[in-house]
């Protein structure tokens, strides 16, 4: 079995010219099998997008073999599906957020943009009729079906535990973290260094010059007077796994011109 990243490449027609992607992950035995799976999901995704939103291509890439990639043209198929139920759409202001849960009860989230304008009513509340709800449920049903192969991509915390950072050399970029499991070229995330706001250490780094207890940060540039507090500092190797999706949920919906979207954690209210 191989891991594939499936990217649905959309564009917005009419008065606004824009493009974006919606990305999923699947496990298949071959690139051709992944393309077949991706195309089936595409036929379910298109009807929940509006008529002004065009699915132009699907990009299927084997991971980590990033050069093993196929671009599948979908414009004619997508237009034919949208003509069956023409509905206006407005990217990027109209979107819904779904949550994908795997067998370990770990969740990831995905925004679906360029959806029907009519399913968002005043106050940013979902107002989809039964027809739209059924189309959305068809997407969920396929994502969790045993034969689809779709998964969510999550950090492998079981084999990559958090490691305590005990020291940092500003001049050399050397991090001391006894018991780390890194090798040269790995990516790892440092977190918890204080002050946490805009701290240059708190991000993902690639490492080199690995010893038993230390790693050297690639591209670290010494900062004059920099003295980070490492009381709660930790680092973790960034390695991901794909796990089967067993549940899908519709979380919230957003539209720019209806004020603060209902149940959305951030965003500003439109001035009236």
For tokens 């990516």, the residue is 187
Domain co-membership, 18 together with 132? yes
Domain co-membership, 231 together with 248? no
**For the chain, how many structural domains are there in total?**
2
Question: In which domain, by residue range, is 27 found?
Answer: 2-154+242-255
| Token duo for residue 83 | 């003509």
pLDDT reported for residue 139? 95
CATH number, domain containing residue 214:
2.40.30
Identify which of 70, 60, 55, 58 has the alpha carbon closest to the alpha carbon of residue 28: 60
In a domain, 263, yes or no: no
CA distance 97 to 118: 16
Identify which of 37, 266, 72 has the alpha carbon closest to the alpha carbon of residue 147: 37
Domain co-membership, 119 together with 221? no
Name the DSSP letter for residue 81.
H
pLDDT reported for residue 85? 60
pLDDT reported for residue 76? 61
CA distance 236 to 250: 31
Domain co-membership, 228 together with 137? no
| SS3 category, 267 | coil
| Per-position pLDDT tens, the chain of length 272 | 889 999 999 888 665 577 889 999 999 999 999 999 999 999 999 888 888 888 889 999 998 766 678 888 886 665 555 555 667 787 767 888 999 999 999 999 998 988 888 888 766 678 777 688 999 999 999 999 988 999 999 999 889 999 999 999 999 999 999 999 999 999 999 999 998 778 899 999 999 989 999 999 999 999 999 989 999 999 999 999 999 999 999 888 877 655 444 444 444 443 33
pLDDT reported for residue 254? 78
pLDDT reported for residue 84? 57
pLDDT reported for residue 201? 95
What is the chain's Cα-based Rg?
Answer: 22
In a domain, 271, yes or no: no
The set of residues, in sequence order, having a beta carbon less than 8 Å from that of 239 and lying 6+ positions away, is 155, 156, 159, 160
Identify which of 191, 182, 176 has the alpha carbon closest to the alpha carbon of residue 160: 182
Domain co-membership, 41 together with 164? no
The structure's pTM equals 0.81
pLDDT reported for residue 50? 84
In a domain, 67, yes or no: yes
Domain co-membership, 50 together with 11? yes
CA angle 57, 59, 62 (to 5 degrees): 165
Domain co-membership, 138 together with 190? no
CA distance 221 to 240: 28
pLDDT reported for residue 266? 43
């Amino acid at each position: 079995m191989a891991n594939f990243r499936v990217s649905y490449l959309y564009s917005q027609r009419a008065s606004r010219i824009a493009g974006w992607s919606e990305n999923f992950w699947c496990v298949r035995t071959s690139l051709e099998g992944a393309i077949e799976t991706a195309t089936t999901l595409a036929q379910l995704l298109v009807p929940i997008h509006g008529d002004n939103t065009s699915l132009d291509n699907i990009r299927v890439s084997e991971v980590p073999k990033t050069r093993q990639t196929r671009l599948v043209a979908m414009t004619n198929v997508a237009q034919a599906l949208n003509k069956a139920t023409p509905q206006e759409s407005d990217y990027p202001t109209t979107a819904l957020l779904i949550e994908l849960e795997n067998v370990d009860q770990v969740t990831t989230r995905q925004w679906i943009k360029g959806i029907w304008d009519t399913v968002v009513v005043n106050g940013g509340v979902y107002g989809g009729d039964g027809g739209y709800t059924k189309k959305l449920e068809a997407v969920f049903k396929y994502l969790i079906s045993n034969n689809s192969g779709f998964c969510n991509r999550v950090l492998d915390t079981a084999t990559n535990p958090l490691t305590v950072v005990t020291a940092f050399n500003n001049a050399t970029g050397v991090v001391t973290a006894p018991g780390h499991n890194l090798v040269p070229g790995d990516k790892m995330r440092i977190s918890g260094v204080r002050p946490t706001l805009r701290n240059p250490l708190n991000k993902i780094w690639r490492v080199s010059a690995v010893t038993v207890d230390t790693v050297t940060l690639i591209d670290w540039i010494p900062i004059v007077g920099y003295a980070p507090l490492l009381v709660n500092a930790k680092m973790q190797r960034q390695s991901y796994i794909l796990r089967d999706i067993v549940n899908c949920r519709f979380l919230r919906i957003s539209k720019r011109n209806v004020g603060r979207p209902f149940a959305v954690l951030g965003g500003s209210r439109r001035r009236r």
